[in-house]
A = this chain, B = another copy of it.
Amino acid sequence: MRITSTMAETRELYSGGPVGLVPTLGFLHEGHVALLEAARDECGTLAMTVFVNPLQFNEAADLERYPRNLERDVELARDAGVDMVFAPSTEEMFPLPVATTVSLAPLTARMEGAHRPGHFEGVATVVTKLLAGLRPDRAYFGRKDAQQLAMIRRLVVDLSIPTEIVPHPTVRESDGLALSSRNVFLSAEDRQAALALSRGLMAAANAAESGERSARVLEELVLDTIAMADGVVPEYAELASASDVDRLDTADVDCFLAVAARVGEVRLIDNVHIDVNPDGVVADRGILMDRPSVLYSQAENL
């Protein structure tokens, strides 16, 4: 495995296609590893990027305290069979003050976009840069960031980027908590309280599979569950179309029910993907781990 610092160098190392890309902010957890393993199975060459993109942090404090551990990320990538880790410096990524912004206003006005001004422009700009510069045939993104996934799928259509965007199910602790690099900041008590998010979503997924179609009813199921948990402050629960992120009144084909909440000092998001098709309703609840995750909980690595 090679560690690269420029895109040109990375491209020169490609050997055999399809070329897969897993873009990350680093500090890998088992969710990233599952993404890498799925990509490994499908790609002749597999590249992973580690870049804590300053453009997508709307709060400077959040950028500063975002956890980092490149050494461990490189080890995990090697174990997962990654061929190259592109880990650029900020100077390599932005040799000039960034004048270019890529935005998808219609898909990012709501939910995360409303709560994190500038966040999605930062993501869209850097994802465009990684796809344009590294030219992968396939790029892998987790369903955990459902609105981001919807935005990126539209981005590649709008900009004719010949990269297939491949979604991967959310990976969850065995008790349901969605893996996130931010979980490391939860106190033991908050960690328990945070389960209200996934519990609410699972209740809604069950209801949808039992025939409930009303978006407001499904959203209330999530919010009511959260209301019962101490110290969890919801920001929103919304059912939205996965193709254009329009808020829905009724569950439909290819949509997602997303929730955001503050648990103590930590802001968490989660969602279930719901697909209403002629044969019935299929909810993608994610993948439950059969044992506790070990990677992100190593707070001593911060």
Q: Which of A96-136 contact B (CB under 8 A)?
A: 96-107, 124-125, 128-133, 135
* Structural contact, A160 and B100, CB atoms closer than 8 A: no
Q: Is A99 in contact with B244, judged by CB distance below 8 angstroms?
A: yes
Would you call A63 an interface residue if the criterion is a C-beta within 8 Å of the partner chain's C-beta atoms? no
- Whether the pair B95, A99 counts as a contact (CB closer than 8 A) is no
A77–B129 CA distance with the chains assembled, in angstroms: 32
Q: Determine the residue in chain B with the shortest Cβ distance to A150.
A: B99
Q: Does A7 contact B (CB under 8 A)?
A: yes
Chain B nearest CB, measured from A95 CB (Å): 7
Say whether A154 faces chain B, with CB atoms less than 8 Å apart.
Answer: yes
Min Cβ gap A107→B in Å is: 5
Cβ of A61: which chain B residues have Cβ within 8 Å of it?
A: none
CB of A155 within 8 Å of the partner chain: yes
Which residues does A use to contact B, with CB under 8 Å?
A: 7-8, 11, 94-107, 124-125, 128-133, 135, 154-155, 157-162, 244
A-B contact pairs, 13 of them (CB 8 A): A96-B154, A96-B158, A97-B106, A98-B158, A99-B105, A99-B158, A100-B102, A100-B104, A125-B159, A128-B159, A131-B132, A132-B160, A133-B160
